[in-house]
Amino acid sequence: MSDVEAPVLAAVRNRIGHLTLNRPGGLNALTLHMVCLLQQQLKTWEQDPDIVAVVLRAEGDKAFCAGGDIRMLYESHKSGKREHEIFFEEEYALDVHIHTYSKPILALMDGLVLGGGMGLVQGAALRVVTERTRMGMPEVGIGFFPDVGGSFFLPRLPGQLGTYLGVSGMQIRAADALYAGLADWCITSSQIAELDHCLNNMSWTEQPLEALQVLLATLGVNKLPGSELKAMRPAIDEHFAQPDLPAIRAALMTESCPQFQDWAEETAKVLDSRSPVAMAVTLELLRRGRHLSLTDCFAQELHLGYQWFDKGDLMEGVRALIIDKDKKPAWNPPSLAELDPARVQAFFNDFEPATSTRSRTACA
């Protein structure tokens, strides 16, 4: 397979390993093959003393990574195969590896960073966005829940920002990503070439992470004006701290401050369009995740994922939005008022903390 065709490109320049997602026509959505290639290369470079850091990036200016290959997941379950389960197992293992990687990883995010893309970058030591970045965990919009470590990194954002982003599935821009703590630095897209030039000519010391931080501080900024999350933060923290989703929606509908009323009304409309069971499970998942370790968060997400294709709304969401494209998902149930809280809790029954005995079959 030529470099042009390979879904992941690997190159070394000036002791830095560059991993490039190479499916720009598919918005660099992750396949199982891509996950395996990323994992194998990261392991190789981790053992190579000549490699001091890794840059994770993507071809194209539309998306760093728009998520996982959802159509494949749908078709795998529909045909009775297990590829969708293997994909989640391997993807989560890759994400954990990134969170615990022994060398600094710089994630360069230009364009969309959604779902599985967030799983790749949130464990990186240095998370760099541009003015073209739009990031989020939009899973509830297709009847799923924020996975790929979302139950770990979202609850650890300031106040209720993570709950708001996870339950609503809203996307944010660079200023909000910096404010929320989902990115560390912002450079302009026109500076990417300059960043590469600097990386190619750096003189390495025994502290590569500090050297990279100094470089990014020279090129970029860690704050931007115009954060909508900052402006709405008082209302977000108040409403999304409510005990359950019906209470959250009711609080939004009774917002009395003129400064927040339009936002509250629009947010309530967004919640009304999402899968009720996915939102309710997300709320429970994030609140549990706040008190769990990284590995236990991923284990709990996998525990839910094994059940979700049969018991959740993902298959219907993918059918409506990606397969048939009628954009009219028949959520089960169709409204929060009809959702049985016991059904939500049942997804978490029998959850056991992560162990090292989980079978691995695809990327060996």
| Between 342 and 361, residue with greater pLDDT | 342
Res 358: pLDDT: 47
User: What DSSP character marks residue 112?
Assistant: E
Res 359: pLDDT: 46
Question: Pick the catalytic residue: 116, 117, 220, 312?
Answer: 116
- Does position 2 have pLDDT exceeding 60, yes or no? no
Residue % of the chain over a pLDDT of 90: 92
Does domain 8-346 bear CATH number 3.90.226.10?
yes
Give the mean model confidence (pLDDT) for residues 42-50: 98
Sequence spans of domains, the chain: 8-346
- Does position 357 have pLDDT exceeding 70, yes or no? no
136 is catalytic: no
68 is catalytic: yes
Distance of alpha carbon 41 from alpha carbon 54, whole angstroms: 10
**Inter-residue contact 140 to 169 (CB < 8 Å):** yes
Res 5: pLDDT: 82
116 is catalytic: yes
- Residue 86 sits at the vertex; the CA angle it makes with 88 and 133, to the nearest 5 degrees, is 30
- Residue range 301-335, pLDDT digits in tens: 999 999 999 999 999 999 999 999 999 999 999 99
Give the mean model confidence (pLDDT) for residues 25-45: 97
Distance of alpha carbon 53 from alpha carbon 70, whole angstroms: 31
Cβ contacts of residue 33 below 8 Å, gap of 6+?
7
Identity of the amino acid at 77: H
- Residue 150 sits at the vertex; the CA angle it makes with 239 and 261, to the nearest 5 degrees, is 20
Question: Pick the catalytic residue: 110, 139, 284, 301?
Answer: 139
Q: Compute φ and ψ for 4, nearest 5 degrees.
A: -65, -35
Give the start-end residues of each E strand in the chain.
Answer: 8-13, 16-21, 53-58, 63-65, 105-109, 112-114, 126-129, 134-136, 171-172, 185-186
How does residue 244 score in pLDDT terms, banded at 50, 70 and 90? Answer: very high
